[in-house]
Copies of this chain bind each other. A is one copy, B any other.
Amino acid sequence: MDNFVWDKDRKSRTGVAEAVFCSHKSHTDLQAIIRFNMTNNSPVLFTRLSLQQWQALPTELQAVLDYDQCSATALLNFGSELSTKKQVCIVTAGTSDLAVATEAKRTLAFNGYQAPIFADLGVAGLWRLMDKIDDIRQYKIIIALAGMEGALFSVLAGLVRAPIIAVPTSVGYGVSSEGKLALDSALGSCSPGILTVNIDNGFGAANAAIKIMNQFNL
């Protein structure tokens, strides 16, 4: 029996195509999946493809993938035009959140949505956020990233009409508990209407944004 079953109709059924989560996958299985999709000429997004996994791929497979080390993502058969409408943007609390932010940005791009990143707007210096808030308000949906105590989520949600998709990141130490604190801050926020995804899950946040935009024909 086969080691994988490709869900080729996922896009028509749910609005987002199947992607490949590479953690824990053997080299053999990864290569089989890449070759299967090369043969079918289907566009595929690979996430959590570690540098080590990437380096273990044969040269001919590396050649067909657009790999980004920072976000650990790779794109196969990707060539879509990006929309230039102001639909969705990404806001980060710190510079350290950029790896996860890039995972979100590349996932959106893979689906045809361009999303600017407003970086390093954490609330320790509130003016940084206030300086950019009018720009941010022009977007329909906001993906926000923060590690540590995640206070950005509550402040931002109290300032804008857009729904916030919060991505807690594993930035921090001690009580931050690998992102658990920022996660709970998003969920337990005093500002109503924040929506949350798993820690470091830039991919999931982008998918949710895409599902919303699909539903409303943007």
On A, residues with C-beta under 8 Å from B are 1-5, 7, 9-10, 13-16, 18-19, 21, 23-26, 29, 33, 48, 70, 93-99, 116-128, 140-141, 147-151, 153-155, 157-163, 165, 170-179, 181, 183-201, 203-204, 207-208, 210-212, 214-216, 218
Contacts and interface: CB of A to CB of B under 8 A. Distances in A.
Given A208-B163, A215-B140, A148 B29 contact: no
B124 A29 contact: no
Given A149-B186, A162-B215, A194-B197, 14 more contacts: A5-B125, A14-B159, A24-B96, A24-B147, A148-B189, A151-B151, A151-B153, A151-B189, A174-B188, A181-B181, A181-B188, A188-B198, A193-B210, A194-B208
Contact of A119 (B3, B125, B154, B200): B3
A194 to B, nearest CB: 7
A122 B190 contact: yes
B125 A10 contact: yes
A51 to B, nearest CB: 13
Q: Which 7 A-B pairs have the closest CB atoms?
A: A174-B199, A24-B96, A7-B125, A195-B195, A151-B151, A193-B207, A151-B154
Interface centre among A13, A98, A185, A201 (most CB of B within 10 A): A185
Given A13-B161, A163-B212, A174-B179, A149 B98 contact: no
A99 B122 CA distance: 28
A89 to B, nearest CB: 10
A183 B175 contact: yes
Given A10-B125, A157-B124, A216-B216, A24 B185 contact: no
Contacts of A95: 3-4, 25, 29, 33
